[in-house]
Structures are given as structure tokens and as C-alpha cells.
Amino acid sequence: MTTDHERVVRSDALLSSWQDTAARQAIVDYVDRAVQEGGAQYVPPSERIAVFDNDGTLWCEKPMPVELGFALQQLAEMAEQDPILRTQQPWQAARDRDYAWLGNVVTKHYHGDDGDVKVLLGGILRAFAQMSVDTYAELAERFLLTTGHPTLGRLLRECTYLPMVELLRYLEANGFTTFIASGGDRDFMRPVTEEIYGIPAERIIGSSAGLRYHDDDSGGSVVYQAEMDVFDDGPMKPVRIWSRIGRRPVVAGGNSNGDIQMLRYAGHPSRPGLRLLILHDDEEREFSYTAGAETSLEQARSQDWTVVSIKNDWATVFADKA
């Protein structure tokens, strides 16, 4: 018999920014089955693991991923100090604010061409080499708190998707533990994820640079190296999820070709999963694009994943500005 407490926890009232569509119903139906003790698709609380991509899934990624804008500031400063860098990528694009080149880097990556990604990452790694993780976190937080989005008329930190934040709360209310598994920079996300998503720093999985400990009289510091530790995208996402969590997720959400393996990894034959793919199709309220998501959309159709249309499934995209 379901208790009053269980009825409150299982309520879908938290999804108020979602339209009453098939996508919303798929989420509610899955959660109802997962928490129904004794049911055929019951998931014990310890196994209710939900993982979500960040850029383009939890917050806006256009005209380029947010953390890339942060790195470009550092690259542009380097170019101002060294004229030789002004004719080299990625410093040239950073100084000239060439969003087309930068956006194309991401799109080419999702199409399997990582030539420019390596160029971009090489510059970023060089830009932050020998900076302490504490200094980096302070700069990243300040950037997010003070920098505006170039077209949406709101701060970058206000560009989180309200329906997805509601989904996080809804899952947590039903006993799920939520994680972020992003191709974006782990340490850029960590300072703000608890405030804007309610997800603490220790539940953030993402790309990261190499780290070294430097000892000194004040207790030492951890600093970045000019080398990559891991690029958390594509087939690396399930590897990192398992290495960090030690459990296979049953819910996963993404928006691009780089999320395919993570979405496929959610659930297994004896434990059905919920796979959500965000479709950016709302030019009026956000952006409309499928570049870099073509293969994931094909797989969603063939494998019966739940495609979430921003235009049709979300009554509201962003929360009111602070």
C-alpha cells in the first residue's frame, strides 16, 4: 500500500515548466515504475543513478560552450602581450572574437574531425598551465557571475534550462542521485553547480587537465599542467562514469553525438533505462540547430529514446532573471 509520504515524493508537480506532452509522460511513467517496490521495473534506491551532460543539456551552449568563453579571455590576454600569437590559432580567434571558427571546432568534433580541437585544447592548456586550482575556481566563478550572454540578454549563469533543473529535483525527490557527466571542463563547472543545479562539486565528472602538487610552507597547492588528463566525451563518458561512480546509470540525458555512448550505457536488459535527448528547435526562445547531433537523433528514432523538444515540450526555457 502506498503511504502519504510516498505519494508526495512521487508527485510530478515539480515538472511545472514542462508541457503535458509525450516526453513529460515518458519521464513520469518511468519514475513511477522505478519506485514501485515489488514491480517488474523497480529500481532499488542505491541503483537510481542519473547522469546528464551539461553544455546544451542543462545550460545553453550557443554561440559556443560557456567555459570556452572563459578560456578565450585568457587566450586573448596572451595574444595582447605576445604579437606572434595573434596570427596563430586559437589565439587569433580569441582576440578577433571569431565565434564562427570556434563554433565550427565543436561541430567538426561531433562529426569525427578532431584536428582543430587539438589546436584549441593545446592553447587552453598552455593558457592555464601552472595556475592553482583555487585561483582557477575563483576566476571561473567570477566569470559566470558577471558575464552576460551575447544575445539572450541575461547573465551566463541565468542561461540554465529551468525544465532540466526541475527534472533534477523531481528525480532526487524520488530517490535518484544526480551527476553531471560533461565533455566540458570539470573544474569550470564545480564552483557553481551546487548553486544553480543543486549538484555538489564531488558529483561533477568532466574533462580535466593534468594536475601536480607543489609543496610550500603554507600547505602547498595543486596546479595545472600543460597536458590533458582526460577528454570526457564520446566513449570516454561511460568509462569515466563507471570509474567515478562505480555504478551503471539508469537515467541519462544529452544533446549531441558526443553523448551517444553515455545514453546507450544507461540501463541494461534486466534494468530498463530512461534516455533523454534534448532537441534544440526553438529559434525564438533559444536556438535552433542539429549540427553535431545528427547521429544521436538517428539513434533516438531507431532505439526509442525520448526526444525532448525545447519548442514543444517546454512551457518555459529559462527562469526569470535575477
pLDDT higher at 3 or 212? 212
Length of the chain: 322
Domain total of the chain: 2
Cell numbers representing residue 178 in the block: 544526480
Which CATH number characterizes residue 172's domain? 3.40.50.1000
Neighbours of 283 (CB within 10 A): 11
The pLDDT mean for the chain works out to 92
With a cut of 70, say whether residue 202 has pLDDT above it: yes
Q: Has residue 270 been placed in a domain? A: yes
Higher pLDDT pick, 199 / 111 = 199
Q: Are residues 41 and 116 in the same domain?
A: no
- Among candidate residues 93, 128, 163, the one where a domain is terminated: 128
Q: What is the mean pLDDT of residues 153-177?
A: 96
Indicate the range of 4-13, 117-126, 196-205 predicted with least confidence: 4-13
Same-domain check for residues 309 and 252: yes
Q: Which pTM value belongs to this model?
A: 0.92
pLDDT computed for residue 3 by the predictor: 43
Query: Does the structure show a pLDDT above 70 at 10?
Result: no
Task: Kindly state whether residues 158 and 285 are assigned to the same domain.
Answer: yes
* 134, part of any domain: no
Identify the weakest region by mean pLDDT among 111-115, 123-127, 194-198, 219-223: 111-115
pLDDT at residue 1, as a whole number = 38
Which whole number is the average pLDDT over 127-139?
95
Give the range of the structural domain holding residue 192, as residue numbers without chain letter: 4-60+154-206+232-313
Do 163 and 270 sit in the same domain of this protein?
yes
Span 202-230, average pLDDT: 95
103 shares a domain with 19: no
What confidence score (pLDDT) does residue 98 get?
85
Q: Could you tell me where the beta strands, DSSP code E, fall in 140-296?
A: 177-185, 204-214, 221-230, 251-254, 274-281, 288-289
Q: Are 311 and 163 in contact (CB under 8 A)?
A: no
pLDDT at 5: 41
Report residue 163's pLDDT band, with 50, 70 and 90 as the boundaries: very high
Residues 176 and 303 in one domain: yes
Tens digits of residue pLDDT in 92-107: 988 988 878 887 888 8
Mean pLDDT of 231-255: 97
Indicate whether 309 and 188 sit together in one domain. Answer: yes
Flag whether pLDDT at 321 surpasses 80.
no
Q: Is the pLDDT reported for residue 11 higher than 60?
A: no
211 in any annotated domain:
no
More confident residue, 272 or 237: 237
Tell me, yes or no, whether 13 and 118 share the same domain: no
Amino acid at 115: G
Cα atoms in the Cβ-side hemisphere of radius 13 Å centred on 31: 28
* Residue 137: CA count within 13 A, CB half-sphere: 12
150 preceded by a cis bond (ω within 30 of 0):
no
Name the 3-class secondary structure at 157.
helix
Kindly tell me the burial class for residue 259, based on how many C-beta atoms sit within 10 Å of its own C-beta (0-12, 13-18, 19 or more): buried
